[in-house]
Amino acid sequence: MEAFSMVLVLCLFHFFTTTTLALNAITPKQSIKDGETLVSASGTFELGFFSPRNSKGRYLGIWYKKISAGTVVWVANREASVSDASGVLSFNDRGILSIMNSTGGIVWSSNTSRTAPEEPVAQLLDSGNFVVKDRNDSDPESFLWQSFDYPCDTFLPGMKIGRNFVTGFDRHLSSWKSEEDPAPGLYTLRIDPHGLPQFVLKKGPEILFRAGSWNGVYFSGRSVTKANPVYSYEFVLNKNEVSFKYETRNGSIFSRYLMNPAGLVHRSIWNERKNDWEVFSVAQADQCSIYAYCGSYATCNTIETPPCKCLEGFKRRSASSADLSSVNWSDGCTRKTPLACDGGDRFLRKTALKIPDTSKSWADISIDLKDCEKLCLKNCSCTAYANLDIREGGHGCLLWFGDLIDISEFNEGGQDMYVRLAGSDINHIQSKGKLTEKQKAGIIIASVVIASVIMILALALYVWKIKSRKTGQHVKEDLELPVLEFATVAIATNNFSSNNKLGQGGFGPVYKGTLIEGQEIAVKRLSKNSGQGLEEFKNEVTLIAKLQHRNLVKLFGCCIRKDERMLIYEYMPNKSLDYFIFDKTRSKLLDWHRRMHIVDGIARGILYIHHDSRLRIIHRDLKASNILLDGNMNPKISDFGLARKFGVDQTQANTKRVVGTYGYMSPEYVLDGLFSMKSDVFSFGVLVLEIVAGKKNRGFSHPEHNHNLLGHAWRLWMEKRPLELLDTGLRDSYDETEVLRCINAALLCVQQHPVDRPNMTSVLLMLCGESILPQPKQPGFFIERNLPTADTILVENETFSIYKSTITSIVPR
């Protein structure tokens, strides 16, 4: 009986303790000690003391409880931690919250000048907002204090970002200093109130990214053509404030904007099926998202090569930088003809734009577009105008003064803008393509003659086309980049001298060359007997010509003469990644910082071809030898001969012609011919493990087992010895947290089943983020001891069954 009473007392104690900890509010004189928490009514959020990873300091924070447990969204005492578990959050009758340490010293306080309500409570709401309010009043405008007024690195639905013009109070996001330190870091995301207010990401005072100004529907930096089905937005701009907030249309959807310590901003939604955050967009997706990347009076378009070009009526500001080698457009462009400012100026309409920086602009919603043009003409400093609001056909007036900076071109969506030019420039632009009467008459006569000739030569032309397909000459008709003459390439390479030979690729030799204007190039001369035929050549040219990213090798042009086919690339002085990481001496030149830089660059390049470019590309042959390194050791993905284009909604494709390189190909591709973005993710995971270990996946040997590098990494991970994978040359200088995160992310990429692998957006966030990564499942690895000796394979349908049975027999148990 006594034992039963003791058990009953313990059960009741546990019940009341749990009930106390499950409260969502405290009243004056109550407190929360370290180890106790408040939980919002629905159980979505929890408030209490915590320590960031690898930190001993204690902070009062709010985190998700129902989903993504432990993911912190807000911190109170960001700059002053409690050194031990003695911290207490107290709440007095004046409505003041305070965090005190073991000596009773105040570490943080929610001081406010407003009068406390009669019955104040401090309550954690289901929105994640921690508020001080009257017990019976739920009007946000009457809150005495709220955590939503002091955002950290997370922007939640219902939270407001902006500035109060009356008080000067500014609500903005600020990054953590590091994963271990929640103090305000280098990066902020805020609304800049100058001119027409706009969303900007800053590093200190420097603007890194501009989301644009509000156009009535969305921020102008986005390419949008229809309303967002997930979110509703509220933007306020009046004499008292400028602010922005968003809500999810479906209350069961959990969403957030997060800015990590590296300044990367992404928007994600909780995927209940995957039990993880699914990233939908990243602010800094490509080089055109870099603020003022092309300088003034120039537009940026990632699908063009180069991405920058001057607006019509303008020219490069620096004549010396206009050659092929110039990729620095920071000087921008300047007018071809000065403005007259006497009534002779006119406007050129530009469409589908991310409109320029509006910090030096003026706006009035009551003025129509016609009067807006008149106002601009009256002021010689006015350089362009546009509608302020794009709804219902557009209304309002927005005027720019000074240089037009940070303009991008969109394929769809965007806004119209009218750029001021001298009348003579407008006349010249409009006259392009127009013909005189004499020219028209000449064309009519020529057309009759040509039609007659065509009838005579039709058969000969048909025969010529059939022959040209065999020789490859017809490729020129489809190319979207310069075609160099054979003599030009021969002169540049000293007639393909052996002294100029850089190496021998899978499809032929590569030569270094120098064009007459001084541009260094790399010439990939396809062997007549190589495995890369006309289709692979044409595929590589047409695909990479449409891609432009700092982590993709730049294709300058091509050369075609009879059965000769050559690709002209930018020259990479540091050769390829395998030249360094698999050599005992040269690998020492790649310290851990450089290796992380290379991993990050490769990830960003793959993210671009998978998600951010105009075309969705699956590379299919990612490997160390296809990662080239420029003079600053920046990685650039090369060799798109085996790449394939995917539709926007396409997720997987099947082929009977399996091509690629053993050791990097995913199991579903080798066995069943199935390839997708997740195939490239697998190859990337292999690459990362090779970069960490300094060893090849294929051909790896270990005295204790017969696994390849993937199998070895998996064993070390399961035995909690992952750091033993690290290249021995790095053992004295490396970041343990980064190494573990790299290995974890890589093992997630090489999991057996494609559905388990993350996409590249998630991978990039894993590598530079601070969240806890999932536990990987067993990788799809092979013991490659009896495979063909050639590195690159091309398996046709009739021989595929033989290879398939061979591979199946060696999958480890």
Tell me the C-alpha distance between 163 and 276, whole Å: 33
Tell me the C-alpha distance between 351 and 83, whole Å: 57
Which DSSP string do the residues of 418-461 spell out, in sequence order? EEEE-HHHHHHHHHTT---HHHHHHHHHHHHHHHHHHHHHHHHH
What is the dihedral angle through the alpha carbons of 330, 336, 341, 342, rounded to the nearest 10 degrees?
A: 180
Q: What are phi and psi of 474, to 5 degrees?
A: -70, -15
Tell me the C-alpha distance between 307 and 299, whole Å: 8
Q: Which residues pair with 670 in a beta bridge?
A: none
User: How many C-beta atoms lie closer than 10 Å to residue 619's C-beta?
Assistant: 28
- The three-state secondary structure class of 7 is helix
Distance of CA 776 to the CA centre of its chain: 24
Tell me the C-alpha distance between 523 and 516, whole Å: 15
DSSP tag of 692: H
Annotated catalytic residue within 192, 345, 621, 639: 621
- Are the C-beta atoms of 403 and 297 separated by less than 8 Å? yes
Which DSSP string do the residues of 706-756 spell out, in sequence order? ---HHHHHHHHHHTT-GGGGS-GGGTTS--HHHHHHHHHHHHHHTBSSGGG
Tell me the C-alpha distance between 481 and 811, whole Å: 45
- Report how far apart, in Å, the C-alpha atoms of 498 and of each of 207, 494, 501 are: 48, 9, 5
- The three-state secondary structure class of 400 is strand
Token digits for 478?
Answer: 């489809």
Tell me the C-alpha distance between 634 and 279, whole Å: 26
Q: With CA atoms as reference, report the closest residue to 347 among 422, 409, 400, 296.
A: 422
Greatest alpha-carbon pair distance for the chain in Å reads: 117
- Report how far apart, in Å, the C-alpha atoms of 486 and of each of 505, 558, 571 are: 20, 9, 18
Token digits for 703?
Answer: 């005295």
Q: With CA atoms as reference, report the closest residue to 710 among 699, 466, 658.
A: 699
Tell me the C-alpha distance between 555 and 547, whole Å: 9
Q: With CA atoms as reference, report the closest residue to 367 among 379, 358, 376.
A: 376
Q: In what order do the strands lie in the sheet with 206-213?
A: 173-176, 184-192, 198-203, 206-213
Dihedral sign (CA 42, 45, 50, 52): positive
Tell me the C-alpha distance between 130 and 356, whole Å: 38
Q: Respond yes or no: is residue 357 known to be catalytic.
A: no
Alpha-carbon Rg for the chain in angstroms:
31
Type and span of the H or E element at 231? strand 231-237
Token digits for 783?
Answer: 């013991």
Tell me the C-alpha distance between 451 and 602, whole Å: 53
Q: With CA atoms as reference, report the closest residue to 621 among 576, 579, 554, 587.
A: 576
Tell me the C-alpha distance between 703 and 708, whole Å: 12
Q: Which residues contact 13 (CB under 8 A, 6 or more apart)?
A: none
Q: Which residues contact 26 (CB under 8 A, 6 or more apart)?
A: 32, 38, 91, 121, 122
Which active-site residues does the annotation give?
A: 621
